[in-house]
Each structure stands twice: as C-alpha cells, then as structure tokens.
Structure 1
C-alpha cells in the first residue's frame, strides 16, 4: 500500500546564530550554494509525488532580486539580522537582465550592500540617503550642474519662472508707461502745433483784414476826392423810407439836409445836367446824370445856377438851398436813382463813396 507520508522540508538556507543553533546541528548547517531543485529535495514514493521545482526556483530567485532592490531603495529595511545569501542564475536568464548598477540610485545601493560583506553585526549603511530616487525629475542640464534633488530643482525652476514672469510684467508695465508718455508728449506737441497754426492763421487773417481795411480806406479816400457832400451847415431832418402823412407815397423817398436859404448846393460828382426847372411839389429841381447812368435829384432850391446839357465837376455849385414846392421850411431834398429808375437810400450811397454825412 502506498505511503501518504509528506515530503520532508528543505533545510533552511540560513545559519542560525546567537543561541538559535550552532554549526553542526541537524538541519542547521548548510554549506555551499543553495538550489531548491531535485538535488535538495528527496522524491516521495508512491502516487503523491512532488513535481520538480526548476521553474519555481528560477522565478523565486528573480523575485528575490526585485525584493532586495525595492527594500534597499525605499529605505524600509535591510537584511542586517540575516546572513547574506549567495544567489546564482542560469546564464540564459543573466544575459537578458539589465546591469543593476546602471539603474538610477540602485548602483550605489548594491555597492553599499556589497561593502558590508557577510558581517551581520556591521553598522547599517544609509542606502536611501546615498542614492535617492528623486533624481528622476532632473533634466540633463540640471544634472550637469550638480543637482541631485528633483524637488529642489523643481522649486528652483518655479522660482526662475516666477522671476521671468515678474520681469516680463515689469517690462510690459514699463513699455506701457513709455507708450503713455510718448502719447502724452505727442498730444502736447500736436496741441502746440495746432495752437501755433491757429495763431499764425489768426495773425494772417488780422493782417489781411488790416490790409483790406487800408485798401478800402485808400479807395474811399480816392472816391472822397472825387465826390463831395451836396451842401454845408446842414442838419439831417428826414431819412429815406421814413413813414408819414406829409408825403404822397406815405413814406419819404430821399434825404433832407436842412440849411439856411441860399446855402450853396454842390455837385456830388462830375456829370451832365439832364434837367433843371420847376417840378411841382419838388419846387425847383436839378437832375445830374453821372457817367454810370445814376441820377442825383436836387429839389426845393431857391435858385439854379446850371442849364440842361452842362458838364459839371465834383464840388461845383449848381444852385441854392430854398423852400420851393411842398415844404415846411428851407432844406435840400436829395434823391438817388439807379440807371433803371429805382430809388435807393442816398445816405448809403454817399457813405459808400467815402463821404461822411
């Protein structure tokens, strides 16, 4: 009958120390390389045989390397209370594994662990402090500059970025201030230019007006030299267009110069005597025609000194002030008619010739 007795456990790969066993004890001493394969396990007879552990041994070995690296890199624990274990891997697996010393932070860890040797009582090696994993965030430039802490490098980059942003903001503010100052200066310069232009235009206009006034004064002076006031020692008693019942048309048609009887009546400009004689309500009237066709009527004269067709010059005496016709007292009634026969204001016409009435 087959035996169901369990297979014996493999002896411990560790050498007990400090009272937990001594070399030479059964199941305690183990010399040489440990390999949990068919060489270290005795087969079990019967139907309940244990399968060979070749694959398990190799996977356990790889797992052991990973655990050793993780524990050493994280700084959580080190195998200080156990003797070092010598591991071996098949060449086919070793050739495909990366070099552990080339991994970031792991090379220094393995070096530190190896330097401890097999002395279980040696002082703990500060593995995590010797090779931290924080170098993963460092750039090549920072590494070349000697940076070893990614956190500090990140802080430095943040501060540098903040300084750059502040510098950019200061530059923008300065540029804005300079632009505002330039705009203000341009506005002030434009205002000064506009003021200067306006002043120059005003001065030019004033000069032109002064020149025009001077020219007009000269023109009037020349006209005044060729025109004359119709009488002297006078007072204006009635003006053109004045309304009243004394005139048949309901308004005054001329300009009245009240003066003593016999005061000389003068030709206002050179011309030809068109008519001279009695004219009803106008009394004795003389009509002087100028070169442009304008007619000057001298009415209510006491006497006339010219005849029809006679040429007279400015200032020549053509009659005397009187009170003939429809009057209330001695005066000269003067009328001005355009070439088409329209009656106009004698005051405006005389002042337009440079005369002061």
Structure 2
C-alpha cells in the first residue's frame, strides 16, 4: 500500500504565552492507515482523486459494467428473451497503470478477479470475462423462464377455475329452469284438474238441484190441480186485443163445453162468489199466502163466500156469461190481492203444473 505524504510543519504566528492551549509549533508524525485501522466506509463514499483522476475513472468503469449487467438481466426478464452474454474488457492494463486502484473497496476485487481469469486463460481476458458475466444472466434467464411458466400455469388454473364456476352456474341455472318448468307444468295440471273438478261439482250440484226441484214440484203438484181436466187454450196472458178494456188479455182461457166441472187449484178460502159484470159469474179463492185466484164466466156457482175449499174441490161449471165469444174458463192470478195480475201459465209451472 502506498504511504501518504508527510504533513507540513505547522507554526503558530501568535505568541505562545497568549494562547490558552500552549505553544502550537510542533511536528506532526506521518500517519499511514491500514485496513485494520480504518473503519470501512458504508454507503456513499468518495475516493480521493489521485494521479489525474484515474482511480475515479476505474470506479465509474466498474459501476458502468455492473449497471450494464443489471440492465441486460432486466431486459431479459421483461422481454422474455434469451439471456444475453456480455464480454468484459481486459482490465490488466488498468491495473498496471493504477497499482493503487486494487485498494479501493469493490473495484479492487473486480480487477483482481478479471486478471486472475486472464492469467488462467492464457491472455484471453475477453472470453474469461464473458464466462463470468454469462453465469448470472443465464440464471436470470432461467428464473424468468420459470417465473413465466409459473405465471402461465396460474393463469391457466385461474381460467379453468372460472370456467368450472361458469359451468356450475350454467348447470344450476339449467336445473332451476327445469325445476321451474316442472313446477309450472305441475301447477297447470293441478289448475286444469281443479277446474275439471269444479266443473264436475257444479254439474253435479246443478243436477242435484234439478232433481230436488223436480221432487219439490212433484210433491207440490200433489197439492195443486189444473182447474179443468179437458180443455183447449184459446187465450194467453198479455195478448193484445180491442175486446179487452185494458187493451190486452189479463188471464189464461181454458175453452171447454158448458157445464164442464171447475176444480179448486189449491186449498183456500172463498172470498167472493157472484156476478161480476164483464167477468160474468166469478168465484175468488184466497190462498194462505194472500194470492187471489179468479175463476170467471161460469155458468153456475157451487160455493159461497167464506167457505173453505181444498185442492180439487168442484167450485162451479164452465159457461159463457159476461163478455165472451164462447164457453170457457177465464183464470187470473193476483199475488197479494193486487189489481194487476201475472201470467197464470208461469205461476202454474212454478208449482209443477203444465197448462
């Protein structure tokens, strides 16, 4: 290691008696630092410029080589290209011209390694430097290849997972659609069955109602009877004509020979029996519900007012008295004793009789 230059002698220009620290004129000893006595510098450090700045140039050269190697590795990793082999220059001449450069931290080791490989290779420093630099780049290239393969594997695995999830979702959607369709079909079938059952019930209820009505009418018919056994209908209710004072026919005409027996349609009380002008001889029977039955144009009367009669009793005989054109029984029905009557044919049908 080269020694430092001796420090010049320092003399104080002031009077030692006036200096609080004593005389300043003294000789400084030569200080030669060694590797053991000097603490290694960490972090950034500056190398003293010696002999025209060649040491600094060597440092810059070493840093440039390291940067080039790192840039090559990064380019290989980013671009996915094969490892690039770089050749380092022969630094033996630099070592000869800069013997003190070997003492610099970092740079000296680089120069020593380069010269050793140059000596071993018999003067071909370029190829030795290329082998030294190719090893880390090849490692970087393999690492990049392995990382790319791992990334590709992860992407494929993720894509497969997503595809499996999509397939599972599609399967669930298909199953839900099938279940919904089956539920809709079942609901439609159930609705059709319910409608059919409701229609059958309605039909059965209607038939039962008709049977019950028929039975009721049959039973009721036992207590009702047509007024004339043998007859011909010659006039209906509502029939228009000038011969009637109201302008229309107000009853039902049973044409029969004079003297044909007239029967009580239903049991009740005779409230009138006598002459009634245009009606001729008339008998009125009031039923228990207040309905009045008028039997008109009789040739003779067999009952009197206040008399109780039963269904089928003979109350008079067919005649042609009053305003008539021939012998017949004119029958009128007045619910509640109202002056305006209703259709006798409909009233009789409601009680199981067909005039």
Normalising by structure 1, report the TM-score.
0.68
Higher helix share: 2
Q: Output the CA distance in 2 between the equivalents of 1:245 and 1:262.
A: 28
Kindly report which structure 2 residues correspond to 1:1-357, keeping only aligned pairs within 5 A, or say none.
51=52, 53-67=54-68, 75-79=84-88, 88=102, 90-91=104-105, 117-119=120-122, 125=131, 127=135, 130-133=138-141, 135=143, 148-341=145-338, 342-357=340-355
8 Å contact kept, 2:258–2:299 = yes
Deviation at 1:59, TM superposition (A): 3.6
Q: Output the CA distance in 2 between the equivalents of 1:162 and 1:307.
A: 112
Q: Output the CA distance in 1 between the equivalents of 2:199 and 2:122.
A: 110
Q: Output the CA distance in 2 between the equivalents of 1:116 and 1:218.
A: 137
1:83-114 CA-partner distances (Å, limit 9, x unpaired):
799884534x68xx9xx9xxxxxxxxx9xx97
Q: Output the CA distance in 2 between the equivalents of 1:52 and 1:115.
A: 25
Q: Output the CA distance in 1 between the equivalents of 2:278 and 2:168.
A: 98
Deviation at 1:306, TM superposition (A): 1.5
Q: Output the CA distance in 1 between the equivalents of 2:204 and 2:72.
A: 104
Q: Output the CA distance in 2 between the equivalents of 1:129 and 1:65.
A: 12
Partner-residue secondary structure (3-state), 1:229: coil
Q: Output the CA distance in 2 between the equivalents of 1:239 and 1:116.
A: 149
Deviation at 1:76, TM superposition (A): 3.9
Structure 2 unaligned spans of 5+: 1-48, 77-82, 96-100
8 Å contact kept, 1:254–1:346 = yes
Partner-residue secondary structure (3-state), 2:143: helix
Q: Output the CA distance in 2 between the equivalents of 1:116 and 1:214.
A: 131
Q: Output the CA distance in 2 between the equivalents of 1:120 and 1:334.
A: 154
Structure 1 unaligned spans of 5+: 1-36, 42-50, 101-109, 137-147
Report the equivalent of 1:143: none
1:13-39 CA-partner distances (Å, limit 9, x unpaired):
xxxxxxxxxxxxxxxxxxxxxxxx86x
Two-structure CA RMSD over aligned residues (Å): 3.5
Deviation at 1:81, TM superposition (A): 8.3
1:234-282 CA-partner distances (Å, limit 9, x unpaired):
1111111110012122110110011222221100001111122222221
Deviation at 1:335, TM superposition (A): 0.7
8 Å contact kept, 1:84–1:118 = no
Deviation at 1:217, TM superposition (A): 1.9
Normalising by structure 2, report the TM-score.
0.68
